[in-house]
Amino acid sequence: MDPLRSISTTAASGMRAQGERLRVVSENVANASTTAKTPGQDPYQRKTISFESAMDDATGAAIVRAGDIDRDLRPFELRYDPSHPAADENGYIKLPNVNPLIEMSNMREASRSYEANLSMMENAREMRQQLVDMLK
């Protein structure tokens, strides 16, 4: 097993997982203010993502994978707006259970993790280059 290849494999898996996390966060942010089209329907429901560890068969390196994408089961926010087309008989509309502040925090964390994995990839590449230069 080549340790530098293992580093690259692990870092690449982290980048893929964080990219998937960013995709889920972007869906949540894009739908943070959407409502149902008709009364009685539920609006967009926030998505959550989990990660799982695995082993790469080719290198034996520990990797991370995006796991299940689930729905957040927290209740929807209700807002009084009797003029809205999706308002119920009491004048309330359901809003998504998406908190933009939490989503932005998740986005920053995913972005930082992605950058850290990218830095590991760059370090492994530099180490390979140093090894090649030393062998010349």
In the prediction, which pLDDT does 60 show?
Answer: 86
Q: What is the pLDDT along the chain (136 residues), one digit of tens a residue?
A: 678 888 899 999 999 999 999 999 999 999 999 998 888 889 999 999 999 999 998 888 899 999 999 999 999 999 999 999 999 999 999 999 999 999 999 999 999 999 999 999 999 999 989 988 898 8
- Contact between 65 and 51 (Cβ < 8 Å): yes
> Rounded to whole angstroms, how far apart are CA atoms 125 and 60?
19
The C-alpha torsion from 97 through 112 and 64 to 9, rounded to 10°, is 150
CB 124 within 8 A of CB 9: no
For residue 91, the number of C-alpha atoms closer than 13 Å in the C-beta half-sphere is: 4
Q: Is 99 helix (H, G, I), strand (E, B) or coil?
A: coil
Give the pLDDT score at 37: 83
Give the 3-state secondary structure of residue 120: helix
